[in-house]
Structure 1
Amino acid sequence: MADALLIIDMQAGLYDGPQRPFERERLLDTINQLIKRARAANKPIFVARHTGPEGSPIAAGSPLWQVWHGLEVDEHRDHLFNKTRPSCFLGTDLARQLRAAQVDELVIVGMKTQFCIDTTCRVAVELGFSVVLPEDGHTCMDTPALKAEAIIEHHNGTLAGAFVKRISARDLWRSSDHATH
């Protein structure tokens, strides 16, 4: 079983926007640690950028569309791709790329919990992939109805079992055991 890291929407417009993501510094550190461990274990890394239409604040190439500068991705080594929907699969060739790399399990991290994380987890399972969701590897912002912490916990609980294997990021790709979680 081959696995890969999928990082969703860690972009300047979301990460550093007017509404700050819950525990954003901790999340950035967690994802950067996963990037380092994925590289050490020779796991492919896929990075999704949410892309708006031409003229929007997150149009391709705009400052807010850029991957957050503190995220340790390598544009020459990692697989960056653009998406226009909450699903990382709809309108992209991600499924084809994963199958070509013989990936059957995805570790999904990034933003926003209730939109792109949730949708991508569910669609990945529908497409036949196994999904690992680090419970501390995704975030969002407060909404008028719920605080971000409650949204994250709700989705961790709702997705666990039926859609994802819920674990702690610290249990992934440890140096003593690269082959398993």
Structure 2
Amino acid sequence: MANALLIIDMQTGLYDGPDKPFQRERVLENINQLIQRARAVNAPIFVARHTGPAGSPIEAGSPPWQLWPGLAVDEARDHLFNKTRPSCFLGTDLARQLAAAQVNELVIVGMKTQFCIDTTCRVAVELGFSVILPEDSHTCMDTPALSAEAIIAHHNATLAGAFVKRVEAHSIAF
């Protein structure tokens, strides 16, 4: 049973930008179901927002920086934090917060698969956390080199085993 949920970069500028993420509605629905399951047993929910420098499209407070309104996050209850790097740990107090909450197993979901999801999964394991990666609860956009579907499939396969326990979202209990 997982101890906490970590939602990464489900922000308006990424979720609803000019390039739409692969299967974004399904991913959002899966994340919202995980939020409901975590809340039902009072498992902590951590929510990362990628924050760009002043003047960037995702600078703190800008409309694209805001969490997607359809995400069932409760800003008064959940642990929101800002990050400036692909890792949710670098330059944040996430590791300390997880330790204070006695978390040892973390479910990681959100965006973008090849950047913040991949990096955070790998760093979490290096820091001693067990990681569950719901294969159907992270996403990204097509790139010139690869389709988003191929990027997601590649990362699901690459991270599984060595870094994460790969499962479907519906099988996760908190």
TM-score (norm 1): 0.94
Aligned to 2:87: 87
The equivalent residue for 2:77 is: 77
Paired positions, count: 174
Q: CA RMSD in A?
A: 0.9
- Spell out the pairing of 1:32-43 with structure 2 (5 A cutoff): 32-43=32-43
For residue 104 of structure 2, give the secondary structure of its aligned residue in structure 1.
strand
| Percent of residue pairs identical | 82
Q: In the alignment, what sits opposite 1:129?
A: 129
Could you say which residue in structure 2 is the equivalent of 1:55? 55
AA of the residue aligned to 2:127: L
Which consecutive residues of structure 1, in runs of 5 or more, have no partner in the other structure? none
What residue is the counterpart of 1:101 in the other structure? Answer: 101
Query: Could you give the per-residue CA deviations for residues 22-46 of structure 1, whole angstroms, max 9, x where no partner exists?
Result: 0001111010000001101211000
Q: Deviations over 1:118-148 (max 9, x none)?
A: 0000000000101000000100000111110
| Distance (whole Å) between structure 1 residues aligned to residue 50 and residue 96 of structure 2 | 19
Instruction: Name the residue aligned to 2:44.
Output: 44
Which secondary structure state, in structure 2, belongs to the residue aligned with residue 32 of structure 1? helix
2:12 aligned partner: 12
**Whole-angstrom distance in 2 between the partners of 1:43 and 1:149:** 30
TM-score with structure 2 length normalisation?
A: 0.98
2:2–2:172: 8 Å Cα contact kept in structure 1?
A: no
Aligned partner of residue 123 in structure 1, secondary structure: helix
Higher relative contact order (CA 8 A, sep 6+): 2
Runs of 4+ in 1 over 6 A off after TM superposition: none
Instruction: Give the whole-Å Cα distance in 1 for the aligned partners of 2:150 and 2:4.
Output: 28
Report if aligned partners of 1:2, 1:102 keep a CA contact under 8 Å in 2: no
